[in-house]
């Protein structure tokens, strides 16, 4: 596919345009806001200069990538697109209006995709006369750096549209994970306990932020601790995602947001971007020291990891994606040290079931219910791989 239209020249749209242009596609990047277009162009100039400095691209490649992107200010300019990817505000009615208008300009076989993180693809597709051409293509931020892209067919999407989309995104050098059109898709669903269980451990007074982060990094081998990561993402954003997943799952207690994070967001302690979150980012701030107790650390890691494994197993149980795609998604999308289902095999399914039942016995909360798949696999002596 050569001609790509990108709608919305913000953080994600600009990154997606860069990815497609780098792969040799002709990209038209559209935004209603002219300033957004000029900012996007300036940002790309800076990014590409940095890539030259690092020796990743040559000055000729920079010129070629830039020449592959045309900045346009009418939707009609996207009329020769073979694939359009929308990355505008996360608002269903705005997206539906744009999709319906776009369909009047593009050819019959143009694929119309959305980069939404939280809206259902089926609902977006329903705005089109031909919903079978609609699909979710969910990039991660920053799009040029993050390897993973979730591809989400809606129940209306045709098989040929799914196949063509997967091929195109793989040609752009990305790892594709195909996910069912359910809240959070793969990553934003399976990753919830990384934050939620860490917050719960803190709320129970078992350990402080620094100790939980130290445990997950030093003992669990995760690249960032949950609190560092929430500060990096922004507590407002991370809280909003959790709340949206929680309500989309009809208030399943497994996804219940934590008051701690709500209060941090309300107080404006958003993390790095506001200078203060779980940690203080001001110039002379001293970083709090963790309690480097290996027994406590192991307990913390075991509890968070078992909840992640349980979530991954349940996603497989409900056919959200294949085991390979679930594992790939967490490794390539959020840099987990290992696939969660692979880890479950290593730990032993019997041990996973035992740990979940132990948590359930302690709390009697539905949040700690063991996935029926783990239990069945244990009874039948199966492993994931």
Give catalytic residue positions.
117, 138, 150, 188
Q: Is 319 left (phi over 0), alpha (psi -120 to 50) or beta?
A: left
Site for ligand NAI (CB under 6 A): which residue of 63, 70, 104, 141?
141
Stretch that binds ligand NAI, among 30-38, 245-253, 351-359, 361-369 (CB under 6 A): 30-38
DSSP 367: G
Is the peptide bond between 142 and the residue preceding it cis, with omega within 30 degrees of 0?
A: yes
Site for ligand NAI (CB under 6 A): which residue of 94, 100, 155, 267?
94
**Contact in structure between 12 and 141 (CB atoms under 8 Å):** yes
**Site residues for ligand NAI, window 191-210 (CB under 6 A)?**
none
**Site residues for ligand NAI, window 295-334 (CB under 6 A)?**
none
Cβ neighbours of residue 1 closer than 8 Å, sequence gap 6 or more: 25, 82, 83, 164, 168
DSSP 165-178: HHHHHHHTTPEEEE
SS3 151: strand
Stretch that binds ligand NAI, among 45-53, 137-145, 166-174, 318-326 (CB under 6 A): 137-145
| CA-wise closest residue to 177 among 331, 384, 337, 17 | 331
Site for ligand NAI (CB under 6 A): which residue of 3, 5, 6, 13?
13
117 binds ligand NAI (CB under 6 A): yes
| CA-wise closest residue to 173 among 197, 143, 218 | 143
**186 or 307: CB nearest ligand NAI:** 186
CB of residue 214 vs ligand NAI: minimum separation in angstroms?
Answer: 27
Stretch that binds ligand NAI, among 28-36, 101-109, 260-268, 335-343 (CB under 6 A): 28-36
CB of residue 343 vs ligand NAI: minimum separation in angstroms?
Answer: 26
Q: What are the Cα distances from residue 325, in Å, to 16, 149, 227, 352? A: 21, 11, 26, 21
Site for ligand NAI (CB under 6 A): which residue of 18, 81, 115, 328?
115
CB of residue 352 vs ligand NAI: minimum separation in angstroms?
Answer: 30
- Residues within the interface to ligand NAI (CB under 6 A): 7-13, 30-33, 36, 87-90, 94, 98, 115-117, 139-141
């Amino acid at each position: 596919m050569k001609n790509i239209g990108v709608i919305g020249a913000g953080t994600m749209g600009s990154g997606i345009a860069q990815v497609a242009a780098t792969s040799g596609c002709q990209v038209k990047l559209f935004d209603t806001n002219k300033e957004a277009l000029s900012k996007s162009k300036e940002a790309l100039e800076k990014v590409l200069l940095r890539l030259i400095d690092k020796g990743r691209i040559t000055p000729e490649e920079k010129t070629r990538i830039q020449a592959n992107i045309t900045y346009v200010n009418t939707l009609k300019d996207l009329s020769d697109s073979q694939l359009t990817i929308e990355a505008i505000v996360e608002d269903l009615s705005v997206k539906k209006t744009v999709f319906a208008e776009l369909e009047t300009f593009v050819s019959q076989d143009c694929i119309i995709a959305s980069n939404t993180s939280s809206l259902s693809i089926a609902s977006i597709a329903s705005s089109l006369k031909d919903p079978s051409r609609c699909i979710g293509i969910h990039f991660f931020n920053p799009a040029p750096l993050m390897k993973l892209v979730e591809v989400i067919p809606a129940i209306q999407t045709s098989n040929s549209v799914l196949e063509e989309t997967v091929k195109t995104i793989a040609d752009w050098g990305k790892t594709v994970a195909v996910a069912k059109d359910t809240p959070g898709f793969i990553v934003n669903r399976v990753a919830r306990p990384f934050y939620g269980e860490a917050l719960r451990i803190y709320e129970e007074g078992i350990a402080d932020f620094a100790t939980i982060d130290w445990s997950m990094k030093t003992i669990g081998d995760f690249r960032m601790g949950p609190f560092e990561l929430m500060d990096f993402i922004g507590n407002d954003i991370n809280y909003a995602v959790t709340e949206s997943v929680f309500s989309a799952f009809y208030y399943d207690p497994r996804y219940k947001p934590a008051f701690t994070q709500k209060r941090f967001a309300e107080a404006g302690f958003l993390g790095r971007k506001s200078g203060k979150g779980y940690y203080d980012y001001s110039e002379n701030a001293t970083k709090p020291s963790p309690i480097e107790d290996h027994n406590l650390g192991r307990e913390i890691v075991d509890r968070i990891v078992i909840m992640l494994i349980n979530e991954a197993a349940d996603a497989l149980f409900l056919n959200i994606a294949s085991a390979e795609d679930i594992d790939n998604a967490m490794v390539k999308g959020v840099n987990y040290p290992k696939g969660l289902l692979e880890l479950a095999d290593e730990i032993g399914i019997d041990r996973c079931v035992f740990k979940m039942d132990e948590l359930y016995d302690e709390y009697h909360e539905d949040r700690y219910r063991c996935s029926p798949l783990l239990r069945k696999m244990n009874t039948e002596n199966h492993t994931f791989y």
